[in-house]
Amino acid sequence: MTEEIEFILDSTKESMTGSIAHLEKEFLNIRAGKASPAMLGSVFVDYYGSATPLSQVSKISVPDARTITLQPFEKNMLHVIEKAIMIANIGFNPMNNGDVIIISVPALTEERRRELAKQAKAESEDAKVGIRNARKDANTDIKKLEKEGTSEDLCKNAEDEVQNLTNSFIKKIDELLVHKEAEIMKV
């Protein structure tokens, strides 16, 4: 195989791996009923005028499956953190006891579980679109090489390899979705 084809295959694989990594990150934001520090990953606090991730202004811990506690590094940040969690609109009602912020993670209803499963399915579909776009880009690049004089057999083999990559990454996405749906629906 030529260097150009190797490069196309490598960049395609890298792009597809990026789609999987993004999907896994999105799945972390879909809570499955158990408390997790990742649930607060989208919360940013106004820390002296700049938007700062919550994890950089407080210690986040999970003492049990239904509770998240936040211990601010600076006591005057308690109300700011509490306000940021409310503004983030992630469905939590923080309680401030003067030293720490306590968040009780409510149990999921059957309806909410179905909603979250739909959300997970939508995220996996987005990831599949990313995989297919990477395939389309790779095949376009391979066609260009063929027009520039690269052997037809080499190009055909490269297209087959791109399709094999696509199939394996789509299968991985399906496996991740099945696992996430099972996690969400487990009571």
Q: What is the reported pLDDT for 4?
A: 87
The answer to whether 3 and 143 have CB atoms below 8 angstroms apart is no
Q: How far apart are CA 24 and CA 52, in angstroms?
A: 23
Q: Which of 55, 97, 91, 92 is nearest to 75 (CA)?
A: 97
**Cα 110 to the center of its chain, rounded Å:** 23
From the first residue on, what is the mean pLDDT of each consecutive set of 10 residues in the chain (187 residues)?
86 94 85 75 85 88 87 88 83 85 83 87 94 94 88 90 95 94 82
Q: Which sign does the torsion angle of CA 167, 168, 171, 177 carry?
A: negative
pTM to 2 decimal places: 0.72
Residue keyed to tokens 């879909």? 30
Other CB atoms within 10 A of residue 84 CB: 21
For residues 180 and 187, what is the distance between their CA atoms, to the nearest angstrom? 13
What DSSP line would sit under 45-62, residue for residue? EEETTEEEEGGGTEEEEE
Return d(Cα 74, Cα 47) in angstroms, integer: 10
Six token digits for residue 23 = 């999907």
